[in-house]
């Protein structure tokens, strides 16, 4: 095992740790890690990310549920439209994107670059919504919203996360806080069930179009699961507001880094 592989597996542990702490962001680390450190094609990297994040999130959901921090009803309400959109995106939309998106003089925008830049733009939007100071979420009274709104939100986020190969936690956490009025820590737990369902169903779409290196993928995933168990344990020592802002700054930094790497 060379140094690059060792660093990749250390990254897998950090992926799980981030998922356990903030209920999202696993793909924000997994995709750049697979693309820039382990040299995987962005389409393959986004597929692997779905499996790693989905499997790790399943373990995280169980851990959070034991602490009473998962709203299954709200989570499943978001999951239904989302997983349909994720599956269709991975099965048909992503494979249908042309290899060359744009030629402008000597600059060529490839499919891989386009996916990574789109990924970074979505991350920037999500980061600003999390950094912005809002009301005290620890004392929010949860209110229901009409299901057609939840359905529409689920379709939109599902399509976006399908294209970029993300579980969507970094989008679902702010969506649950802002739209469903769920306190931050419960939003983190609830997002994990959505991420689990979306990611694994999205990955099923990829199995039909890609060749999977199961040995590497299962090892990477197992290490991430160890990380998420540790992250869930550590999350009880951190306040919801600090968690939200830290999450936002983390996403912002990673977005800027991805844009720099793709356009330099």
Residue 144, pLDDT score:
65
From residue 169, alpha-carbon distances to 4, 173, 197, 260, 262 in Å are: 27, 6, 12, 23, 23
pLDDT over 70 at 143, yes or no:
no
pTM for the model? 0.77
How much is the mean pLDDT over the chain?
Answer: 83
Question: CA–CA separation, 136 vs 154, rounded Å?
Answer: 25
Query: 197-228 pLDDT, tens per residue?
Result: 888 888 988 888 888 999 999 999 999 899 88
In the chain, what are the domain boundaries? 3-263
Residue 137, pLDDT score:
47
Segment (H or E) for 97: none
Average the pLDDT over 169-179 and give the result.
78
pLDDT over 60 at 141, yes or no:
no
- Confidence band, pLDDT 50/70/90 cuts, at residue 248: confident
| Residue 127, SS3 per DSSP | helix
Residue 5, pLDDT score:
82
pLDDT over 50 at 8, yes or no:
yes
Question: CA–CA separation, 93 vs 210, rounded Å?
Answer: 14
Question: CA–CA separation, 87 vs 47, rounded Å?
Answer: 11
Rounded to a whole number of angstroms, the CA Rg of the chain reads 17
Query: 75-126 pLDDT, tens per residue?
Result: 888 888 988 998 898 889 988 989 888 888 778 888 888 888 998 898 888 7
Query: 236-246 pLDDT, tens per residue?
Result: 787 666 776 87
For residue 169, count other CB atoms closer than 10 A to its CB.
Answer: 33
Terminal-residue alpha carbon distance, the chain: 30
């Amino acid at each position: 095992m060379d140094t690059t592989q060792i660093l990749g597996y250390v990254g897998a542990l950090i992926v799980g740790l981030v998922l356990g702490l903030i209920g999202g962001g696993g793909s924000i680390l997994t995709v750049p890690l697979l693309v820039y450190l382990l040299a995987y094609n962005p389409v393959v990297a986004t597929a692997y990310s779905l499996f790693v994040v989905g499997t790790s999130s399943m373990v995280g959901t169980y851990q959070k549920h034991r602490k009473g921090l998962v709203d299954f009803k709200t989570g499943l309400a978001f999951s239904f439209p989302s997983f349909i959109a994720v599956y269709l995106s991975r099965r048909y939309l992503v494979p249908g994107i042309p290899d060359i998106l744009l030629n402008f003089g000597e600059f060529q925008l490839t499919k891989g670059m386009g996916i990574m830049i789109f990924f970074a733009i979505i991350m920037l939007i999500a980061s600003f919504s999390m950094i912005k100071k809002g009301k005290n979420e620890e004392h929010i009274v949860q209110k229901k919203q009409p299901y057609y709104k939840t359905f529409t939100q689920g379709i939109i986020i599902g399509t976006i996360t399908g294209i970029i190969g993300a579980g969507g936690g970094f989008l679902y956490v702010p969506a649950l806080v802002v739209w469903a009025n769920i306190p931050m820590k419960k939003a983190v737990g609830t997002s994990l069930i959505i991420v689990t369902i979306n990611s694994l169903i999205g990955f099923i779409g990829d199995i039909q179009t890609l060749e999977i290196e199961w040995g590497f993928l299962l090892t990477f995933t197992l290490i991430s699961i160890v990380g998420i168990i540790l992250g869930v344990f550590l999350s009880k020592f951190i306040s919801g507001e600090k968690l939200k802002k830290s999450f936002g700054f983390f996403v912002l930094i990673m977005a800027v880094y991805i844009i720099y790497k793709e356009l330099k």
